[in-house]
Amino acid sequence: MDSLKPTLDALLKQYTSKPDVIPGVALVVTRSSGPIYSGAAGLRDLSKPDVPMTVDTVMWIASMSKAITSICAMIVVERGLIGLDDDLKKVIPELKDLQVIDRTKPYEDGNYTLKPSTKPVTLRHMLTHSNGILYSQWYPHSQAYADAHGIPNLRTGKRSAWKFPQWHEAGEEWHYGMGIDYAGLVVEHVSGKKLGEFLQENLFAPLGMTSTSFNMRPDMLARKAAPYTRKDGKIVPNGSELFAFEVDQESGGGGLWSTAEDYAKFVRMILAGGKTPEGKVLIKKETLDLGMQGHLEPKAKQSVNDAHVETALSKFPGAKRDYGLFGMTFEEDLPTGRPAGSIQWDGAPSCHWFVDTNTDVGLVQVVQIMPFGDPEVQGLLREVETAVYKALKA
């Protein structure tokens, strides 16, 4: 383990010291007892050479928000406020008149033929992306619907961005989409609190996550990383912020701003079986164990193994996988040394986290580079993860 810090320091420096590779990166590796590595390299903003990237630099973590919201959804399940398999059409007014696309009719131009949704839609479906409500930006046919009906991008933070029908009935397929956003609505409806308020009371405050929020506070803005885009192999300023600073509807699926240091506290809590460092139980270990298991129905599981969208799947092509209540689960060992049974997910600006409870290790690596799946960031992540497991086995 003594070799881990110099090895990771060198890797971060290697990937941030040359132009057009990675402007800045923050990395925390933790066990249930606490971090075993915390470091950063590069710059927070390339236009400010005297401001280094740090582990408390604020970044848009996008879909890394999902695991946080999913944990809170399971907290309300634990409290008996809703069941994992209750029909949400009877709970959330927004789903009462849900419709599904008739895929036997033409749909390519976005002017779909719709029919009533007949199957129950459950929290389990929402948390596992098997609910049928897709992200427009990932699927051309869904984007065509958004364009045809004037539906804005979710990054605007507008409630009108949620007005999509199902692509399929719940449970039948796996498609990346808005399920965890709706899970956030479930938390709001059954708790009587705004999602951000519930997260603050039940996760952020107990864990000391002081720089994680749906809204950009002035103190966070002062530490925010600049967003970048890779264009023709070159790193260029993104030109606009990646997500709205203030929102109409808090997006449990992708609206949080956070830091590597803060998110690692959340990862550490999972590794510690749901407890804070002081021993307070935030969520039961058996609930976490349930969430770490795969939950897809057979047909949906087949589709998640056939999926080719640019998500976390692209890191380990061919690895057998399922989807749990908190993220993607792997059913076999990975080439980096990570054993079967781990869970992971990502954020659009090429951010990443994973939890491996079998080895008691988790990782958070955050940058602000679009589009998702940046090849340089992927390369660094593979080298970092390989180095971590090599050190743990030494």
Condensed to tens digits (0 to 9), the pLDDT of residues 66-79 reads 999 999 999 999 99
pTM for the model: 0.95
Q: What confidence score (pLDDT) does residue 148 get?
A: 82
Condensed to tens digits (0 to 9), the pLDDT of residues 214-229 reads 999 999 999 999 999 9
User: Region 104-129: what's the mean pLDDT?
Assistant: 88
The class level of CATH for 3-63+226-393 reads alpha beta
Radius of gyration of the chain (CA): 20
Q: What confidence score (pLDDT) does residue 167 get?
A: 92
Q: What confidence score (pLDDT) does residue 370 get?
A: 94
Contacts of 43 (CB under 8 A, 6+ apart): 16, 23, 24, 49, 51, 52, 53
How is the chain split into domains, by residue range?
A: 3-63+226-393, 74-191
Distances from the Cα of 364 to the Cα of 40, 102, 213, 276, 394, angstroms: 11, 41, 17, 18, 22
Is residue 107's pLDDT more than 70?
no
Condensed to tens digits (0 to 9), the pLDDT of residues 360-372 reads 999 999 999 999 8
User: Region 289-312: what's the mean pLDDT?
Assistant: 81
Cα–Cα–Cα angle for 101, 102, 107, nearest 5°?
75
Judged by average pLDDT, the poorest of 43-57, 177-191, 304-318 is: 304-318
Condensed to tens digits (0 to 9), the pLDDT of residues 37-48 reads 999 999 999 999
Rounded CA separation 244/251 (Å) = 11
Q: Which three-class secondary structure state does DSSP give residue 24?
A: strand
